[in-house]
Amino acid sequence: QVQLVESGGGLVQAGGSLRLSCAASGSIFSIGVMDWFRQAAGKQRELVAGITSGGSTNYADSVKGRFAISRDHAKNTMYLQMNSLEPEDTAIYYCSAEHSRYLGVRYWGQGTQVTVSS
């Protein structure tokens, strides 16, 4: 199994920045794509950004140009650099990893709260 632990969330003012980290442990060799999701109060969970083992990335339109996802295989850690934060970015952010072989198997972190004030 895979365990995912997030850190870096908090409260920031609009226009500020945060860097989220997701440390993976366990059967890390089984990890394929890793993603950041978020869920705002009263909203559905949405994909924020994803990164493959080879480093290919994708972003939700709402965060393009502001967020950057990266992955450090040596440290088994994924990051999400969030700049120019807006109140609309307020949500619980979840780290997730998909099994490299069994694509229907997905692991989740506990979530970390990001709150952006006006």
- Which percentage of the chain shows pLDDT scores above 70? 100
* pLDDT for residue 103 is more than 90: no
- For 21, 77, 85, 106, the CA distances from 24, given in Å and listed in that order, are 10, 6, 26, 13
- Kindly indicate the confidence band of residue 29, based on its pLDDT and cuts at 50, 70 and 90: confident
Note whether 98 and 36 are within 8 A (CB).
no
Does the structure show a pLDDT above 90 at 104?
no
CA distances to 10, 75, 87, 103 from 91, rounded to whole Å, are 11, 26, 9, 26
Using 50, 70 and 90 to split pLDDT, how confident is the model at 36? very high
pLDDT at 5 over 90: yes
DSSP H or E run through 24: strand 18-26
